[in-house]
Amino acid sequence: MASVSRVLSRSQLETLAQHGEERTAAVGETLFEIGDETYPFIAIVEGEAAVLDGAGQEIVRHGASGFLGEMNLLSGQTVFLTAVVTEPMRYIAVDRDVLKQLLFDDSDLSDLLLSAFMQRRELLQREQGIGIEIVGPRDSADTRRLLEFARRQKLPHSWISPAESEEAASLDPAEIPLVRLPGGAELRRPSNGELSRALGVGLELSAREEVDLLVIGGGPAGLGAAVYGASEGLDTLVIESTVLGGQAGSSRRIENYLGFPAGISGTELTGRAVTQARKFGARTGSPYRAEALEPGPDRHLVRLEGGIEIAARAVLLSTGAEYRRLPVDGLDRYEGISVFYAAGPPEAQLCGAQRVAVVGGGNSAAQAAVWLARGGALVTLLHRRADLGETMSSYLLDELERFGVAVRDRSEITALHGEEGHLEAVTLSAGTRLPFSFVFLFLGASPCTEWLGETVARDSKGFILTGPEANAEGLLETSVPGVYAAGDVRAGSIKRCATAVGEGATVVRFVHERLAPARA
Ligand SMILES: Cc1cc2nc3c(=O)[nH]c(=O)nc-3n(C[C@H](O)[C@H](O)[C@H](O)COP(=O)(O)OP(=O)(O)OC[C@H]3O[C@@H](n4cnc5c(N)ncnc54)[C@H](O)[C@@H]3O)c2cc1C
């Protein structure tokens, strides 16, 4: 991991010295160790330290002008590596909170440290034996849930089969999966929230919190609002029911986001946004699900699962939408590899001369089918009704014919077949098996708004109305003054990352206008 060994300039060391404490350490001394709750940022003036994994294996060494630390310095997550002095050291220790402030003020230092921390985290995720251990059968839904959670949270982790663990073999099945934390503590069949909080990831919310701006949903819209809200002085809290990043975080490659001509993975784009929001002082709590909104004249009350309540002067609803998935076993193993929810240029290229199924009877399915067929794919459109004309525009029916898309009526997929995410065939409800290498799903999206009940006005599909349609004053304001909606959850929004970010950022302006008289 030599490439993660970056160096600080002399002036950066001087800046750090002004904000930290100079210390010395002898050979063999431990600077921090696995299981510690936190550690300071360490900038090495002289000497050298080695970073070790749980088995005592050396991962990397850092020398003079190098520094120790990775993402958990910012997230506050439990330490999962040990650092030991290998040559007498003189170093500057900077407290975590002081460092965060410094990153805010010093953009060069911020660029250097943030990119190194993120790169180190990515490399650690690829190493075996670092971070948490999830012991449970691969085919158990709870094991898969925890593995997916660890993957999306970028937690370094390893999966261990119960057959390889004597302890797990002796446990009651209700206690599996077993999760071993850095430092040795164990959790039995934890919820994502229990695991997260046991690791110190994100913050533990108090029974009652009071904030200026509460953002519900940590996708692009919520993160956009968090960055602009926190950077413009609002006490901002983001709560997220699953993993920060939203739908965008699950996209393998976002090709159309401004500023990334070569594309960027959804995890990287949203991971950077989370880091940026935290850098500006936004707090992020996940996983916490909002369960009820109770509007008030001055503050709105939002109740979260677990009995926590948050009183906020302004609330942003950015809970997005969930694409409807196929109710078939093992779908998640294929998603992102051979099952997709959008068809763009990369997919068209991937599918050239391949057998492809597009599932859905709406215009979006037709557009995708035509697009893929034009790219050279052999496309079959599968839909469950007797006549496609009931759900699709006639010009698109003509286009399907023109570009040679085969249409199968009354066809529903009941099983996927393939290996390691690579699809080979599907089975239809009538029992027919058809060979396909890729499947595109256009089954519509449902907004995540059921929890709101009748509190805010929604359209017939459940999307939140804003502006004139909601009889609201502000453009992005809902039918409840001081409660805003942005991104995919908003009726009429354009379902794209950039528009979601833009709407989230715009809401901050309206929040300032609302709070200004109260502050004056
Ligand atoms: C696979 C895939 C690929 C995509 N590719 C592209 C692309 O290339 N380019 C592009 O522009 N767009 C793309 N999109 C669309 C884009 O990701 C969305 O438009 C964007 O993520 C919408 O952002 P959002 O913040 O409004 O909502 P979301 O991203 O849906 O985020 C909403 C968040 O709110 C959380 N939430 C829901 N309910 C609650 C609750 N009760 N309490 C707390 N939190 C809650 C959810 O867990 C979620 O994290 C893609 C989408 C998908 C699924």
Counting atoms of ligand 1 from 1, which one is nearest the CA of 243?
49
User: What is the pLDDT at residue 2?
Assistant: 41
By CB atoms closer than 10 A (0-12, 13-18, 19+), residue 141 is: exposed
Is the bond preceding 481 in cis, omega lying within 30 degrees of 0?
A: no
Q: Give me ligand 1 centre to Cα 222, in Å.
A: 10
Q: From CA 230, how far away is CA 222, in angstroms rounded?
A: 12
User: What is the pLDDT at residue 74?
Assistant: 79
H or E element, residue 215 = strand 208-216
Q: Give me ligand 1 centre to Cα 373, in Å.
A: 27
Order of strands across the sheet with 413-419?
A: 413-419, 422-428, 433-435
Q: From CA 194, how far away is CA 306, in angstroms rounded?
A: 11
Q: Give me ligand 1 centre to Cα 293, in Å.
A: 21
Q: Give me ligand 1 centre to Cα 387, in Å.
A: 32
Q: Give me ligand 1 centre to Cα 480, in Å.
A: 23
Q: From CA 364, how far away is CA 369, in angstroms rounded?
A: 9
Give the residue, by CA position, lying nearest to ligand 1 atom 27.
Answer: 320
For residues 287 and 243, the answer to whether their CB atoms sit within 8 Å is yes
Q: What is the DSSP string of 23-89?
A: EEE-TT-EEE-TT-S---EEEEEEEEEEEE-TTS-EEEEE-TT-EE--THHHH-PPP-SEEEEEEEE
Report the residue among 149, 319, 464 best suited for mutation to probe ligand 1: largest number of ligand atoms under 8 A from its CB: 319
Counting atoms of ligand 1 from 1, which one is nearest the CA of 336?
1
Residues with Cβ within 8 Å of residue 520, at least 6 apart in sequence: none
* Helix, strand, or coil (residue 213): strand
Q: Give me ligand 1 centre to Cα 213, in Å.
A: 20
Give the residue, by CA position, lying nearest to ligand 1 atom 22.
Answer: 488
Q: Give me ligand 1 centre to Cα 352, in Å.
A: 28
**Max Cα-Cα span within the chain:** 78
Report the chain (520 residues): mean pLDDT per 10 consecutive residues.
71 96 97 91 97 90 95 82 97 92 84 86 79 84 82 81 78 87 89 85 86 98 98 96 87 81 83 88 92 96 94 98 88 82 77 95 90 94 93 91 96 94 93 96 93 97 97 95 98 93 98 79
| Residue whose pair of structure tokens reads 């009652």 in the numeric block | 208
Q: Give me ligand 1 centre to Cα 386, in Å.
A: 32
Report the residue among 192, 247, 496 best suited for mutation to probe ligand 1: largest number of ligand atoms under 8 A from its CB: 247
Q: Give residue ranges with CB within 6 A of ligand 1.
A: 216-222, 239-242, 246-248, 250-251, 254-256, 289-290, 318-321, 323, 341-342, 448, 451, 487-489, 495-498, 500
For residues 323 and 353, the answer to whether their CB atoms sit within 8 Å is no
| Residue whose pair of structure tokens reads 């002095």 in the numeric block | 85
User: What is the pLDDT at residue 466?
Assistant: 98
Counting atoms of ligand 1 from 1, which one is nearest the CA of 288?
43
Is the bond preceding 287 in cis, omega lying within 30 degrees of 0?
A: yes
Q: HEC string of 228-248?
A: HHHHCCCCEEEECCCCCCHHH
Interstrand relation of 178-180 and 186-188 (parallel, antiparallel or unpaired) = antiparallel
User: What is the pLDDT at residue 346?
Assistant: 66
Q: HEC string of 418-486?
A: EECCEEEEEEECCCCEEECCEEEECCCEEECCHHHCCCCCECCCCCECCHHHHCCCCCCECCCCCEEEC
User: What is the pLDDT at residue 202?
Assistant: 64
Report the residue among 153, 214, 216, 251 best suited for mutation to probe ligand 1: largest number of ligand atoms under 8 A from its CB: 251
User: What is the pLDDT at residue 5?
Assistant: 59
